[in-house]
Amino acid sequence: MDSLIVNGATYWLPQNTAEVIDLVNEAITKDEIICMRGSAHSFPLIGTLEKNASGKNYKYIMLSKMYNVAIDQTTGIVKVDAGCHLGLDPWDPTNISTLDNSLLYKLNLKGWAIPDLGGITHQTVGGFLSTASSGGSTTFSFEDTVISIDLITTEGGKATLTTFNKPANQDPDDPFYGVGVATMGLMGVIVSATFQCVPSFYIAGQETTKMETDCEIDLFGKGGNGKLSLQDFLQQTQYTRLMWWPQASVNKMVVWKAWQCKTEQEAMSWASAIIPGSKPIASTISPYEEVPYIGGTPVLATVGADILFTLIGTWPNWLLNLLGDTTEYRELRDKIGGAFYTEILPKILGVFVQLNDDKHPPQKFSDIWYNGIPMDNQMSDKLFPVWFTELWIDIDKAEEVMNELHSFYQEGPDNTGAFSCEIYAAKANQFWLSPSYGHNVIRIDVFWFAKDNGDPTVFYDKFWKLLSKYHFRPHWGKYLPKSDSEQGISYLKSNYPKWDNWMELREKMDPCQVFVNDYWRDHLGIPAVKK
């Protein structure tokens, strides 16, 4: 079996289910812990596991060679190996991932689609399911399309392949809802999954940048005067994402919104189709541009943004390194520092986040579904690395949460930082440890530029404490509160009605604890197996 060294760790690359079973049985025999890697988009999880300090050996596995896709063109049912990437993964260390062998591309060739996707499509099928990832929609859901999961467990003390089918009666107590989504790899290895697709479609939409007070949405109220409340907007708009720049003298909101169109022509003429009385704006598909394209590529603008935010985030260290750490220059730093957040940063962001006016009208776009819904694919994880914690809260609390954040941000730059806050939504589902279990949610993504000074968890901790009263559930693939904190194990347990059911099922699926690594044992409080 082939292997590959990534970040100093040796990853096994099985080609089929039989080889995965062999690896699991070997791990049982040798008392090893299995760690799965998809696109490595789940941070800091991947980095933590690849620096294993456990007393046990870790067996690292990537399913990169398992990317088969079988599509029933008549029914739209697709069975796909868990190692298949949703779209192209430009950073795949095996160099196997391509657009041509990605799930979404193959589906579209056959006239089918997944109705909802995340902001990027680098992820593998197994990774997307394991972390309960989601796109920005309360109308459509990736999870709704899942109809079966093929899982290799250690039930009975040996590697066992079991298929879990979605129950016809949607019984919420069925094990399918325990193993299908948000398993974090703790019940076994997902080797394949089956989805019910929808007919292929296009999207059309618009992005606006306005001051908070001029936003098309009543961000902090119940709606009125021609504006929807944020909750209504998130529940009535098919796809949306908001980027909030809450710094003093900035106070801008970027609203991205889109709708499905059946045909390319409808998408190209989206204004007349969606906004009555408007005239068509395009005769060709006009893809969304998250950053300006220079020479036909977003790379130069992304590199520019990286340099800009690196200078902002490492202020004032780089100035002292440039001029020298002397009394004279420290005094200069302090003088500039006093005006940095009140005068300098707003001017920088005024260029970077431009308000709409006659010279900068709202961006109107149209595209095929698998390119259009994941609006962040243009931003490189390597060239512009962003970390975040993502907090999912019952959407009925949207108004209260926004007012809480607004008051918090007004306290000053220590609370706002120099970056944005992302606001998403997600549709409710029945998967036991999904953060949107039982209700639609508003998602608060607290951003941290990876090259900033300091510790991101210190910044995140403020938000964990602030929003805990609203019973947030964190995205499993992002930064999590410390297990012994007020928002740790006891807090998580109290916010998931099916927590105990999930834990009991997990123990049944993996009595050998082959899949329980130190990271998840700590964050979820999984007790060691009794011998």
363 C-beta neighbours (distance < 10 Å), count: 17
pLDDT at 129 over 80: yes
Q: Average pLDDT for residues 378-395, to the nearest whole number?
A: 83
Q: DSSP label at 82?
A: T
Do 448 and 373 fall within a single domain? yes
Are residues 267 and 375 located together in one domain of the fold? yes
Go through 185-217 and write b for each residue having 16 or more CB atoms within 10 A of its CB, e for each that does not.
bbbbbbbbbbbbbbebbbbbbbbbbbebeebbb
The answer as to whether 330 is a domain residue is no
Q: Is 50 exceeded by the pLDDT of residue 418?
A: yes
Q: Give me the pLDDT at residue 41, please.
A: 81
Which residue do the tokens 């789940």 mark? 42
Same domain, 168 and 208: no
Kindly state whether residue 468 falls inside one of the protein's structural domains.
Answer: yes
Averaged over 32-44, what is the pLDDT?
Answer: 87
pLDDT of residue 283: 56
For residues 166 and 225, membership in a common domain is answered with: no
Phi-psi region of 392 (alpha: psi -120 to 50; beta: other; left: phi over 0): beta
The whole-number average pLDDT for the span 314-330 is: 61
Q: What is the mean pLDDT of the chain?
A: 89
Domain limits for position 122: 3-200+498-524
Domain-located, residue 30: yes
Q: Rounded mean pLDDT of 483-506?
A: 97
The enclosing H or E element of 11 equals strand 9-12
Whether residue 434 is predicted with pLDDT greater than 50 in this model: the reply is yes
DSSP 476-518: TTS----TTSTTSHHHHHHT-TTHHHHHHHHHHH-TT-TT--H
Asked if pLDDT for residue 408 goes beyond 50, the answer is: yes
Tell whether 164 and 19 lie within a shared domain: yes
**pLDDT > 90 fraction of the chain, expressed in percent and rounded:** 71
Q: Is 163 a member of any domain?
A: yes
Residue 311 inside a domain? The answer is no
- CB neighbours of residue 345 within 10 Å: 21
Residue 53: is its pLDDT beyond 60?
Answer: no
> Is there a single domain that holds both residue 27 and residue 107?
yes
User: Cα–Cα distance between 276 and 258 in angstroms, integer?
Assistant: 16
Q: Does one domain contain both 431 and 508?
A: no
**Contact yes or no for 333/320 (Cβ under 8 A):** yes
Six token digits for residue 152: 């290799």
Q: Is 216 in contact with 234 (CB distance < 8 Å)?
A: no
| Residue 150 bridge partners (DSSP) | 163, 192
Residue 63 pLDDT exceeds 80: yes
Please give the average per-residue pLDDT across 215-243, as a whole number: 97
The total domain count for the chain is: 2
- Same domain? 47 vs 98: yes
Which residue matches tokens 């994880």?
381
Q: Is the pLDDT of residue 419 over 90?
A: no
Report the CATH number at residue 157. 3.30.465.10
pLDDT confidence of residue 123: 95
Rounded CA-CA distance 181/128 in Å is: 9
Q: Are the CB atoms for 509 and 188 separated by under 8 Å?
A: yes
Looking at residue 328, its pLDDT comes to 64
Tell me the CA end-to-end span of the chain in Å, nearest whole number: 32
